[in-house]
């Protein structure tokens, strides 16, 4: 089992400033998602990741994918990164600080309507 690479708040801020192509996903499952996203990210719940990447072919195997969840005590970002790595994605990082560290660093979040998953 490959070790999951992680990214710090500062590294993430720099990476988001650069733009470029980047898949940035909030992987919180419905039970934990509170309608908050880090700007520039979209929601791909942990339990739908395999379906998401196989259905849409939205991410190529070498694309940079950064996943995050609620914060340092939430295991979902590491689980998502491991799942993506197991599926053959080679440039995956987990932002373990998640929403908690992002907000504590004074960064903005986006609020989204919580639609129930179909």
46 domain residue, yes or no: yes
List the beta strands (DSSP E) in the chain. 5-6, 23-26, 36-37, 42-43, 64-68, 91-95, 110-111
Instruction: List pLDDT tens digits, range 49-101.
Output: 998 888 766 778 999 999 999 999 999 999 999 999 999 999 999 999 999 99
Domain CATH for 57: 3.40.250.10
7 domain residue, yes or no: no
Rounded to 10 degrees, the C-alpha dihedral 101/92/17/54 comes to -110
Task: Decide the pairing of beta strands 36-37 and 110-111.
Answer: antiparallel
Instruction: List pLDDT tens digits, range 89-103.
Output: 999 999 999 999 999
118 domain residue, yes or no: no
29 domain residue, yes or no: yes
CA–CA separation, 30 and 17 (whole Å): 29
CA–CA separation, 5 and 105 (whole Å): 21
58 domain residue, yes or no: yes
Number of domains forming the structure of the chain? 1
pLDDT at 118 > cutoff 50: no
pTM: 0.91
| Contact between residue 29 and residue 23 where contact means Cβ atoms under 8 Å apart | no
102 domain residue, yes or no: yes
Rounded to 10 degrees, the C-alpha dihedral 53/86/22/67 comes to 100
61 domain residue, yes or no: yes
Q: Which domain holds residue 96?
A: 22-70+77-111
pLDDT reported for residue 101? 98
């Amino acid at each position: 089992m490959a070790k999951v690479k992680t990214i710090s708040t500062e590294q993430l801020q720099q990476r988001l400033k650069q733009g470029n192509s980047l898949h940035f996903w909030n992987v919180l499952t419905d039970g934990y998602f509170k309608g908050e996203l880090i700007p520039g990210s979209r929601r791909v719940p942990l339990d739908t990741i395999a379906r998401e990447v196989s259905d849409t072919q939205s991410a190529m195997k070498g694309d940079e994918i950064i996943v995050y969840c609620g914060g340092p005590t939430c295991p979902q970002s590491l689980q998502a990164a491991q799942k993506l790595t197991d599926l053959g994605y080679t440039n995956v990082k987990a932002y373990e600080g998640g929403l908690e560290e992002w907000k504590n660093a004074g960064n903005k979040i986006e609020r989204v309507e919580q639609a129930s998953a179909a």
